[in-house]
Every structure is written in structure tokens, then in C-alpha cells.
Amino acid sequence: MSRTTAKEDETSGDLGRVEKVLGLEFRDTIIGGYIFGLPRDSKPLVGVEYFISEAAFNECLDASNRGAQRMVDHEGWLDPEQGFAEFEMSQMAINPLTRKASEFQFDFHPCGHPHEFEPPTWIDQVNNFITPVARVTSPDRSTCIEISPNTALCPVPLDGRTGRRPTDSEKVRRSATLKIFVHPPTTAQDLTRRSRELANSFLFELSTRNRTHFALRPKLSRLVPKQSYGPMNYNVRFPRSVVPDNVSALFSMPMSISARGNTTLSFLYYYQVLEHYFPTIHKREAIKKIRRIIRSLDFNEGEDQSILKILNSAERTKGESDGDQLRALLEYCVSEEKLKQFFTLQGDAHFGSKGPIQGGVRPILTKGKDLPPLHSQVASRVYQIRNRIVHAKDDSRFEESKVLLPLSQEAMALRPDVDLVRLLATEVICNGR
Ligand SMILES: [Zn+2]
């Protein structure tokens, strides 16, 4: 083996290690460093690239050799050997910690952690300003929580366009991440739990006490992308649908920027559209039943028994649960053909019994003998998911009531159910009058 090949082997081994610790894929070598991108097999929603300088590359290698790893549920990484966790964050509003820096005081004390910013101040050479690093220390000085510019393992994405060489200022751009330092070092499992708890508490208090709104970033690369069912219609027509104001507002929300990627919220908006039509269908069903009694051959308005039949029927429909009302609505508005078409295109990886949405949520079974009617199966599933999103009673004794949280793995996989409830909402708007 020639020396060049040995060197190449060594580099490709290093590249593989850095790819693993960053959760990214190597794309190219450029002056001063490397370009990495989101893994292609994860089918990312957008093409995003990162510049990793040679120094950052070496830092990643060192971290990898120490056993550092990406987090499972969030964007960020854990370094158990150093008792260190770093979360990437989304900033939800203007950050007073930067804007009114001189007015803030931070509850920090001398500690034994290897903090990059010591004293806790950051000199931003790109924008030429000095800003404090938000750091607080526990009373026993074993733990620090800090919001400061990212380390090499949480690189900042380049401008949206891929395949473009980064500018010099882009190469040194940094963005705030939340860092947890604990002492002594601990296991990955313990560090995951403690860092999550500390990050949650800190961000809650920053929001409620300091009007500084950040959120941890869930692993969006796992988000199942939206699919389109059926062919696109190229005929733009004068509208015939009748859409009430509040239904229109609810139906448009899941497509807005604010709800993008928020599958649980999108699911609820579409569910609320269905709920809007409950009373209409409920009345229609009740009238249909009473009319049937009145038209029956043995009905006699002079007999108390006959009148009681009407009364009992009205009582029964009044006591119908939301789940029953949903089933009645779907039976009335959505054809079985539409449902079958949807599940045929979808396959059973998601809706089958081994699908990613568990916690007592019923699968949809389309092949087999003695299956419950498709409308009932769909109504049960939609209603169970709705309950798991809105009922926050997280009690392990009742698996069915286990809450489905916005940033959970199940929420990231929920997209096909959102597509289903969107289809139901569409059909109900068209046929529910
Ligand atoms: Zn510290």
C-alpha cells in the first residue's frame, strides 16, 4: 500500500468519525476546512450545508474519541466524559439578554468547568460588539447552565443555497446554544436526563421571569415529510365550496409558517374543523331517526307508547359521545372509496399494528376477515390521537391517556395521520352542509 493511500484511508476514517459525531455527511474539501450537509438518506426537507474549519474538525475528532454522541430526541450533543451537554435552540422572540445586556445580572460563581468564555463575555468579531454570556451556577458550584456561542459540534448552517462557497464572515459566524456543565462526569443516560431537566427549568424561568424566549430544537430530520395523495388538479375554477369564516381560519392554519413542522397542532386544527360540523350532523341524524319512527306503520300519535319512542330516540342522540358523533359525521360525509384510496396509497407501514403511533391508538386494518367498518376504525384512531394530544394526564397506569407531546418521536412521525385528518376535514367541508 502506498503512503498516499494510507493517508487517504486515515482521512476517510476521520471523516467517518466526524460525520458520526456531527450527525452530518461529508460533501467537499475547501480552503481552511470542509463542507458537510444533512445526510441524504434522511430525506431532509431542505438542503442545508455547514462549514467545518480544520480546527473545528479536530475538535470533533477529539470529542468523538472521548465517546461524545449526538442526542436522540434533540439537536445537540452529549460528552459524558466531560460532564457536558449542548442543546441547539430556536430563538422565539427578540432576546433582551443581548438587547439590554447591561441591565442583567447573572447568578454565577467560580467553578471547576472548562468554560470557553471566561470571564463570561463574548467579543463578536463579525458584528464588532461585546455581549455577556448568560451563565448561572448551582449553590454547590457543581453545575453551570450557560447560553453562549456554539461549540464546534453544533455548527451554524450556511445560507440556504447549497453548493455555494461560504464567505469569510460566514466561516466564523456563531449562534447561541444552551450548555450544561456538571461535575463529576456521569453516564450518557444520567447526563441526558439531568441536562434535559435543567434546560427545561432554565428556559421556563427565562421565559417567565426574564422575557427571553428560547426553545430546544427537536430532531427535525426525523420529521416525516408531507405527501400528496392523488393527482394535482390543473383546472382553477370559480369556487363552489361553502366555507364558514371560522372553518376557513382553522383549515388554513396548519399551512402557516407558525405551525410548520408542528404536527400535533396541525392535527388539532383539522380536528376542530370536524368538530365544527358535529351539531349539524347531530341534528340531521336525530331528525332522520324521528322521521323514521313517525313514518313507521305502527306509529299512532294517540298512543303514549308511540310518543315515548320519539322521546327515547331524542334522549339517546343527546347522550352521544364525541367519538360517536365523529363516526356519524364521517359516515355521512366521507365515502368509503375515498378512505380505501387513501390507505392504499399510504401502505400499512404507518397505520398498521407495528406503526410508530402507539399508546393505545388503534391501527387501521384494511386486509383480513371480520374487520370493523373502515369508518369506525378511522373515527376511533382520530379520536384517540386527539385525546392523547389534548389530555396532559401523563399517568403510567393508563397507557391510553399517555400524552403525545409536540416534540416527541411520535409527533415527528405523525404526518400521515395529519394527512388523514386533513382529508377528512376536506370531505366534511365539501359534504357537511
Ligand atoms: Zn461552571
Verify that 213 and 256 share a domain, yes or no: no
Q: Is 113 left (phi over 0), alpha (psi -120 to 50) or beta?
A: beta
Verify that 29 and 174 share a domain, yes or no: yes
Nine cell digits for residue 401: 391517556
Q: Which pLDDT does position 395 carry in this prediction?
A: 57
Verify that 77 and 214 share a domain, yes or no: yes
Centre of ligand 1 to C-alpha 180, Å, is 9
Domain carrying residue 101: 3-220
Centre of ligand 1 to C-alpha 140, Å, is 11
Residue 238, domain member (yes or no) = no
Which of 223 and 360 is assigned the larger pLDDT?
Answer: 360
Centre of ligand 1 to C-alpha 18, Å, is 27
Centre of ligand 1 to C-alpha 135, Å, is 8
Verify that 76 and 209 share a domain, yes or no: yes
- At 85, is the pLDDT very low, low, confident or very high (cuts 50, 70, 90)? very high
Q: Is the pLDDT of residue 87 over 90?
A: yes
Q: Which pLDDT does position 303 carry in this prediction?
A: 87
C-alpha angle 335-238-422 in degrees, rounded to nearest 5: 35
Which of 59 and 239 is assigned the larger pLDDT?
Answer: 59
Residue 232, domain member (yes or no) = no
Centre of ligand 1 to C-alpha 141, Å, is 7
Centre of ligand 1 to C-alpha 147, Å, is 12
Verify that 151 and 249 share a domain, yes or no: no
Residue 366, domain member (yes or no) = yes
Centre of ligand 1 to C-alpha 50, Å, is 29
Centre of ligand 1 to C-alpha 112, Å, is 6
Verify that 154 and 297 share a domain, yes or no: no
Residue 237, domain member (yes or no) = no
386-421 pLDDT, tens digit per residue, is 999 988 665 555 555 688 888 788 888 899 999 999
Give the HSE-up count for residue 115: Cα atoms under 13 Å, Cβ half-sphere: 28
Q: Count other C-beta atoms under 10 Å from residue 254's C-beta.
A: 22
Centre of ligand 1 to C-alpha 57, Å, is 25
Average pLDDT of span 195-210: 89
Q: What percent of the chain has pLDDT over 70?
A: 90
301-314 pLDDT, tens digit per residue, is 888 888 888 888 88
Residue 11, domain member (yes or no) = yes
Total domains in the chain come to: 2
Verify that 307 and 412 share a domain, yes or no: yes
Residue 362, domain member (yes or no) = yes
Verify that 316 and 280 share a domain, yes or no: yes
**Residue where one domain finishes, among candidates 186, 220, 254:** 220
Residue 227, domain member (yes or no) = no
Verify that 269 and 131 share a domain, yes or no: no
Nine cell digits for residue 189: 443516560
Nine cell digits for residue 353: 399494528
Distance (Å, whole) CA 25 – CA 325 = 49
**Residue where one domain finishes, among candidates 152, 185, 220:** 220
Centre of ligand 1 to C-alpha 58, Å, is 24
Centre of ligand 1 to C-alpha 31, Å, is 35
Verify that 142 and 286 share a domain, yes or no: no
Q: Which pLDDT does position 225 carry in this prediction?
A: 63
Centre of ligand 1 to C-alpha 143, Å, is 6
Verify that 300 and 379 share a domain, yes or no: yes
Phi and psi dihedrals of 13, rounded to 5? -60, -45
Residues with CB under 5 A from ligand 1 (ion): 111, 113, 144, 181
Cis peptide before 184 (omega within 30 of 0): yes
117-167 pLDDT, tens digit per residue, is 888 888 877 777 777 889 999 999 999 999 999 999 999 888 766 677 888
Verify that 295 and 342 share a domain, yes or no: yes
Residue 236, domain member (yes or no) = no
Centre of ligand 1 to C-alpha 13, Å, is 34
Q: Which pLDDT does position 4 carry in this prediction?
A: 46
